[in-house]
Structure 1
Amino acid sequence: MKTNHPGPLVGILSARKADGSIAGNGPLFIALQKKLISLDGKSFVFIPEDAGIDHIMGYTFLPEQNHWKKEKFRYPDIVYNRVPFRKSEQSEQCQQFFTILNEKNIPYFNPCFIDKFELYELFKRHSFLKTFLPETILIEGKKDLFLFQKEHKSIYLKPTQSSKGKGILRLRLTDAAELQLDGIHQHELFKSFDHFWEKYGVELLTKNYLAQVEIKSAKYKGNRFDFRILAHGEDKGYTVTGVGIRQSQTQDITTHIPSGGRLLPYEILQTNEHDNFIEAIVPEIGMALSDRYGYFGEFSIDAGVSMTGHHYIYEVNSKPMRFDEEEIEEKKMEQLCRIFLQLSDYEN
């Protein structure tokens, strides 16, 4: 048990933006600080470049003055990884900082972003989770994709290292034996696969795309919908923090709200089958991720259900975006602070 102050000192790891400012979810950081203060704890936001041998320069939020203050801090009791950019997280300085944390026996969670195809391969080896995976291949050449598209007729193309639906495309064989390519803001027709590959082949290979069979999604009032599931570590397992529905509107490529999707309360579509699916996959996903990468204190899942009632896991996100449902965000604060207390040995 730590005795030098009443509650834990939590370090929130972020990165610097191109303009020199600190990146990250400011409202989340402020909400966490307020919650921690109520638990006799304290948090500060910092970047790896500002970590010295014994101290770290960081920023703490002062609720009474409503502003951020730069201070020198001792090394925290626990680090919450919220580095928002893959490139920053993979940098030598960031990786060296994780090494320092390991040497100092300081726990940290959410160790890394997840590569979509690595995730697929991880779950494919899992006897239970593999039953919920849409068939997927890594695009390594023209022939692989041609055969995959020929077999499935309608497929999604996704960058293996992206989020929020960025870069996602759908490729369909039309009744006229042409290929139709649809993105969030693009629609193109190609007379043959050769014509398509000529235009997009280099991009698909250099940006490490995967191809995934399109699932004919169940619909609500004429539009497809997905589940957004937030999960957190609890004791030695994982628990569901909240579930929301995202529904496509102006386009049906993705249900992400920044791309025109809309929010629906889970209760509208809630069934025992959906509940059982969600409750079953969360602990298995949490344990599989932590066994493979290191401790995941939180993650979110994009999942869906087909028109025939089969459930699917589409993606898992290691740095969950803000949920628009306020009750889920509030519960997230409670869960995160519980993890902070638990991992830093301040839990009663």
Structure 2
Amino acid sequence: MPEFFTLYLLDKKENGPEFVFPAGQNLFSEITHAAFGTFCLPCTADMNGEKESMIGIHPVMAEKLKLPFAGKTRVLVHEGILYLGPLIGIFTAGFTDSLLRPIGDRSLFFAKFMSLDQTAGMYTVVFGAHHINWEDGTVKGYLYSRDGWKELEVPIPNVVYDRLPNRKAENHKALKLVKRRLIEEYGIPWFNPGFFNKWDIHQTLVQLPETLTYLPETYFSPGIGKIEEMLSRYKSIYLKPANGSLGLGVYQLSYNAENECYICKYRDDAGQNKLRKYPSLEHFFKHSFEGRLLDAYLVQQGIELLRHGQQAVDFRIHTNKDAEGEWNVTAIAAKVAGRGSVTTHVNSGGMVKTLEELFEDPQERIRVFHSLTGAAILLSRRIDSSVPGLIGEIGFDLGLDQNGKVWLFEANSKPGRSIFSHPKLKDGDLLSRRQFLDYAMFLMRKSVQSPEDIVQ
């Protein structure tokens, strides 16, 4: 693992050494270059430093490397190059002209993500396509510290975490070209590169016996005949957009034999939970889809979920890769559906609860914990091995039916963090953010020591 040192500026001396290292450190015995981000410059070193955990750097070298500030840092030495940091880039869109909120409403989200970098010995910059100066190999992006946001010029980062806000941005031609250029010309590991498609994930997992068991019966682009067939077998079914998120565009359908009508629950454009009755499926489609085909929708078996009081419950499980590139569960929480809501999303009136709040019986709680975490780790590994690109985190929506069986409802490559607003999930929030940095460090180390092992 890379070692921790404190980086500090030397006194300005015209002929002083560019670096001063701790005496007797074999780690620094043959340093010829120093690197920060994608900058790599020749340097000279003096091995007579007195403090074992300190590295001194000449201000001229710091300026040439565009180091944003001194402080705690990790170092990695490979083939005579001293790598500082790393410098982690977060790539996104939707910037504003305000230094107080440079990424608009998502500024707090990014500030939280970046608040641990210095204590972890790393540097993090958030940037967009328009911040890159290709001629100089630099990025004029935003760094966050205790003093707030600062706009600084730094080298192009060692590793990039993709946090584009939506599929429209993800499919923008210019943004795709930026990604391709950074990967192909600079060899930069780029992780969590795209939003998952629900149907693609289903098709991947349905072929594997060990994951098939978690999947509700699901079909793509269903016709009325398929929907009627599903309703005859299950108490309710769900219609979901294949590329949807946040529970938007989801309909829950059931048939009431006593009143001979179809009952639909959904959330309207104003964010209100609605319930409507239709005499036929044709009436439902005409009202809800204006006669359009469901060519971008899935129909999915409804599950009789575990309930808290009268409300359905499902679970958000957050998984991250750690410093060794292995999957771990970093957070788990229950989501209790709001009254009349078709989903358990918080923005639809849902409520977040811990397992301790939901299960008073310790043995039941432990059993549920192991069922959910075991499923999440297995699903993470199988998705990771089947989906192109580097994946460092996944957010799962899993359900438990009345018999305790685990079901997968959704896997999200850019998971939200609303569950972490719960005061008892602060440890999970911290762990997931720390492992984001650890995985970035893992990728940087791989890109330096064995770049052939990184497949993007």
Shared fold (TM-score, shorter chain, > 0.5)? yes
Question: TM-score normalised to the size of structure 2?
Answer: 0.70
- Distance in 1 separating the partners of 2:399 and 2:351: 15
Partner of 1:119: 201
- Identity, in percent, stands at 25
- Distance in 2 separating the partners of 1:133 and 1:62: 43
Gaps of 5+ in 2: 1-75, 268-272, 449-456
- The one of 263, 274, 297 equivalent to 1:180 is 263
Partner of 2:320: 232
Q: Aligned-pair distance for 1:211?
A: 1.0
* Residue 16, structure 1, aligned to residue 105, structure 2: no
- The one of 193, 213, 223 equivalent to 1:131 is 213
Partner of 2:430: 330
Contact 1:139/1:210 (8 A) holds in 2? yes
- Distance in 2 separating the partners of 1:204 and 1:159: 13
- Distance in 1 separating the partners of 2:130 and 2:383: 28
Contact 2:285/2:291 (8 A) holds in 1? no
Q: Aligned-pair distance for 1:319?
A: 0.9
Report the secondary structure of 1:293's partner residue: coil
- The one of 29, 34, 44 equivalent to 2:110 is 29
Which letter maps to 2:245? S
Q: Aligned-pair distance for 1:144?
A: 3.1
Aligned residues: 345
Q: Aligned-pair distance for 1:18?
A: 9.2
* Residue 340, structure 1, aligned to residue 440, structure 2: yes
Partner of 2:23: none
* Residue 162, structure 1, aligned to residue 244, structure 2: yes
- The one of 369, 373, 383 equivalent to 1:275 is 369
Alignment of 1:24-103 (within 5 A): 25-53=106-134, 54-63=137-146, 65-66=147-148, 68-103=149-184
User: Cα distance 1:232–1:55, how it changes in 2: closer, same or farther (>3 A)?
Assistant: same
- Distance in 1 separating the partners of 2:82 and 2:156: 13
Which letter maps to 1:263? V
Greater C-alpha radius of gyration: 2
Alignment of 1:225-264 (within 5 A): 225-234=313-322, 235-264=324-353
Gaps of 5+ in 1: none
Contact 1:11/1:76 (8 A) holds in 2? yes
- Distance in 2 separating the partners of 1:204 and 1:228: 32
The one-character-per-residue Cα deviations of 1:91-126 (angstroms, maximum 9, x if unpaired) are 112211221232121112111101111111111112
Contact 2:222/2:299 (8 A) holds in 1? no
- Distance in 2 separating the partners of 1:296 and 1:240: 14
Report the secondary structure of 2:116's partner residue: helix
Which letter maps to 2:177? Q
- Distance in 2 separating the partners of 1:204 and 1:121: 24
Partner of 2:395: 300
Which letter maps to 2:264? L
- The one of 281, 284, 297 equivalent to 1:209 is 297
Which letter maps to 1:126? L
Which letter maps to 1:230? H
The one-character-per-residue Cα deviations of 1:57-82 (angstroms, maximum 9, x if unpaired) are 2111242x32x222222110111111
Report the secondary structure of 1:31's partner residue: helix
Contact 2:265/2:341 (8 A) holds in 1? no
